[in-house]
Structure 1
Amino acid sequence: MKRLLTGNEVAAEIAIQAGCRYYYGYPITPQNELINYMAVRMPQVGGTFIQAESEIAAINMVYGSAAAGARTMTSSSSPGISLKQEAISYLAGSELPCVIVNIQRGGPGLGDISASQADYFQAVKGGGHGDYHVIVLAPASVQEMADLVYDAFDLADKYRNPVLILGDAQIGQLMEPVEFHKKQKKDLPPKDWALTGAEGRKRNIVKSFYPIKGQLEEFNAHLQRKYRTIEEHEVRYESIDTDDADVVLIAYGTSARICKEVIRKSSQLECNVGLIRPITLWPFPKECIRTVSEKVQCILTVEMSAGQMVEDVRLAVEGRCPVHFYGRTGGGVPTSLEVMKKLTDIISDSRSVSVASH
């Protein structure tokens, strides 16, 4: 049976169904529905809900629950996620699994409460200090929010790593039918590394401090091996009409929804248009993009930012074809007509160059 819920509400409910029993947060628009939902539901399932005194306090509470082996979660929006960055580095450095939800708003600074995708760099490049990665999942619908939050807890436990859900105000506030087709978690995987008391066994140590010369380098080598494993096995993306495309759009989240409308209207254009939608922003689907770049005339990256993911697209393409960009900032959302106009301009410019060269 389907239910009509917002993306924020679904993220909270699915976290509970995935076995999360410890949630810590601090209010900030546009993700407050998630906190409100958790405040009601957590006591009903015997869980713990704490509205912390700050975003910094909330993420450090997550550290404590994760170290004890619990499934735990926090959420915020762009400026709040900025405040959490130091502790996210500590979580990654201590190999502690947790789920963090960022419902992005416009920036920089306090910005506004409109939808944005300007936190891409912060999410995929590691907003805190040190050589680390978090797994980044980008839902494009309320149903996918449900599926990815559920998977996020499993990925976090599998790799002992923080997982970030990167949505935006549109995805968080949007209300759509959603089906809870994954079973509620009852038996969670054992965590023999957790701090649960050392009676009858060797004590466990959770730390990110390696003061003896050479230890930290050895630990970082271990982390990099883990990250390469994640890159090998956990890349996710959606590909639409790319086999015979002249131009491929690359977009995620809300921008990808708009690009799908462009695909539906592509008969109005003088070229075949395809779409690659990254679902994992880290690990990034660079092999898929590299393969497509060998067959198309050009690529157009569409973002609700001044241009961030486009840098990773260009790195994947490695000059095999031109990479163009269209973006809106500060809460501006691209329309399908704007993207089609950009495509028309690209095609026209390309033909002009071809004629001039002859």
Structure 2
Amino acid sequence: MKGTEAIGEAAIQAGCQCFFGYPITPQTELAAYLAKKMPEQGRVFVQAESEVAAINMIYGAAGTGVRCMTSSSSPGISLMSEGISYIAGAELPCLIINIMRGGPGLGSIQPAQSDYFQATKGGGHGDYNMPVFAPSSIQEMVDLIQDAFDVADLYRTPCMILGDGMLGQMMEPVVFTERLKRDLPEKEWAATGLHGRNTHNVINSLYLDPQDMEQHNVRLQAKFARIKEHEARYEFVNCDRDNDLILAAYGTTSRICRNVIRDAEKEGIKLGMVRPITLWPFPDEAFDKTVDRTKFGYLTVEMSAGQMVEDVRLAVRGRKPVEFYGRTGGMVPHPEDILQRVFEMIPEGVK
């Protein structure tokens, strides 16, 4: 299946009841797929008049406790940012898909990873975070849909799947299997209008008393700390051995780095890789576990001007050098160029 269409099918199988969105390249096929499939399932599909409208429809649907999702690409997510902050403040579960394209501005329709800061450092206003999942294949993208919906429900939080135009547009074999579902709490907080309930549920992110607002933020920060403790995910490649260098990459670039690792072996260079699967919470422990497995440090590879590299440096805490290689604006790194950057980091006489 094409990546965007596979996301749509995975969302249906994960129990998504409502989709609200607006077309934008390179994720439009996701909306087109759901426009056909959701009504066939007796579920809701609405093409909103804008991304601003779509995210506020998500706010309303999430407030009733149903599983709901929206999708867009880079500039569209920027338009949704205020609504995402409202949803985080109101503690509503939902899933947001961003199939990234080159920027800033209208940029290009080519794949990029330059929305990392937007996704992991909030994006909207206020003190909040949301779990961000970064698949590297269409199969993993499908698998993470169920997981992301479950995490959203468990913690009452928006979650994001952060892909890119390459993952959205490529086609790969996909197997849909029933995922192990978490033991999720009843949504007793939902504003469903049910009679006979002892509490009057109100969905709100407004606290006029600053003391109330601070207490709300304290409670949110405690929730974010629990997410950090329990939900960080990563993959190691060749990190059970001593390496000359360890690469750090996510999503599409991690696929390219697998080829770099293979090519480096032919040159007598040992490379490992840390692949963050969650970008927030960032898997700091992956670097604690590998810092003694790399002689010359880490090389972070991104389709951006350098964003995740800052989190890698924070996680490494100066114990080893951390360098960066990236392409931006929609350009995809080539294995030969990454390998050349690896050569530059390894002292003469070693390689």
TM-score (norm 1): 0.94
Give the match for residue 30 of structure 1.
Answer: 26
Is residue 92–residue 162 contact of structure 1 (8 Å, CA) maintained in 2? yes
Amino acid at match of 1:345: E
Give the match for residue 144 of structure 2.
Answer: 148
- Please list the CA deviations of residues 30-65 of structure 1 after superposition, one character each: whole Å capped at 9, or x if unmatched: 001100000000001100100000000000000000
Give the match for residue 233 of structure 2.
Answer: 236
Is residue 24–residue 58 contact of structure 1 (8 Å, CA) maintained in 2? yes
RMSD: 1.7
2:9 is the alignment partner of 1:13: yes
Give the match for residue 123 of structure 1.
Answer: 119
The 2-side partners of 1:348 and 1:21 are apart by 56
Counterpart of 1:178 in 2: which secondary structure? coil
Give the match for residue 275 of structure 2.
Answer: 277
Amino acid at match of 2:118: Q
Quote the offset at 1:276 in angstroms: 0.6
Counterpart of 1:276 in 2: which secondary structure? strand
Is residue 19–residue 188 contact of structure 1 (8 Å, CA) maintained in 2? no
Give the match for residue 250 of structure 1.
Answer: 248
Give the match for residue 168 of structure 1.
Answer: 164
Amino acid at match of 2:315: A
Amino acid at match of 1:334: P
2:334 is the alignment partner of 1:335: yes
Sort the Cα spacing of 1:184 and 1:294 in 2 relative to 1 into closer, same or farther, 3 A: closer
The 2-side partners of 1:308 and 1:110 are apart by 19
Quote the offset at 1:349 in angstroms: 6.5
The 2-side partners of 1:272 and 1:184 are apart by 36
Counterpart of 2:42 in 1: which secondary structure? coil
- Please list the CA deviations of residues 265-317 of structure 1 after superposition, one character each: whole Å capped at 9, or x if unmatched: 22233431000100000000111113312342210000000000000000011
Give 1:1-358 correspondences, 5 Å limit. 5-182=1-178, 190-201=186-197, 202-243=199-240, 244-296=242-294, 297-348=296-347
The 1-side partners of 2:289 and 2:316 are apart by 8
Is residue 198–residue 204 contact of structure 1 (8 Å, CA) maintained in 2? no
Q: Deviating runs (4+, > 3 A) in structure 1?
A: 348-352
Quote the offset at 1:264 in angstroms: 1.7
The 2-side partners of 1:80 and 1:224 are apart by 27
The 2-side partners of 1:145 and 1:277 are apart by 15
Counterpart of 1:128 in 2: which secondary structure? coil
Counterpart of 1:292 in 2: which secondary structure? helix
Counterpart of 2:108 in 1: which secondary structure? coil
Instruction: Count residues with an aligned counterpart.
Output: 347
Is residue 74–residue 101 contact of structure 2 (8 Å, CA) maintained in 1? yes
Question: Gaps (5+ residues) in structure 2?
Answer: none
- Please list the CA deviations of residues 48-84 of structure 1 after superposition, one character each: whole Å capped at 9, or x if unmatched: 1000000000000000000011100000000000000
Percentage identity across paired residues of the two chains: 57
- Please list the CA deviations of residues 166-209 of structure 1 after superposition, one character each: whole Å capped at 9, or x if unmatched: 00000000100000012598x98631000011411121111111
Is residue 269–residue 344 contact of structure 1 (8 Å, CA) maintained in 2? no
Q: State which drifts further: 231-240 or 269-278.
A: 269-278
Counterpart of 1:331 in 2: which secondary structure? coil
The 1-side partners of 2:117 and 2:10 are apart by 27
- Please list the CA deviations of residues 110-156 of structure 1 after superposition, one character each: whole Å capped at 9, or x if unmatched: 00100000000000000100000010000100100100111111110
Counterpart of 1:179 in 2: which secondary structure? coil
Quote the offset at 1:250 in angstroms: 0.3
Sort the Cα spacing of 1:350 and 1:301 in 2 relative to 1 into closer, same or farther, 3 A: farther
Amino acid at match of 1:125: K
Is residue 210–residue 216 contact of structure 1 (8 Å, CA) maintained in 2? yes
Amino acid at match of 2:332: V
Amino acid at match of 2:80: K
Sort the Cα spacing of 1:302 and 1:221 in 2 relative to 1 into closer, same or farther, 3 A: same
The 2-side partners of 1:189 and 1:214 are apart by 29
Counterpart of 1:145 in 2: which secondary structure? helix
TM-score (norm 2): 0.96
The 2-side partners of 1:257 and 1:351 are apart by 26
Sort the Cα spacing of 1:218 and 1:189 in 2 relative to 1 into closer, same or farther, 3 A: closer
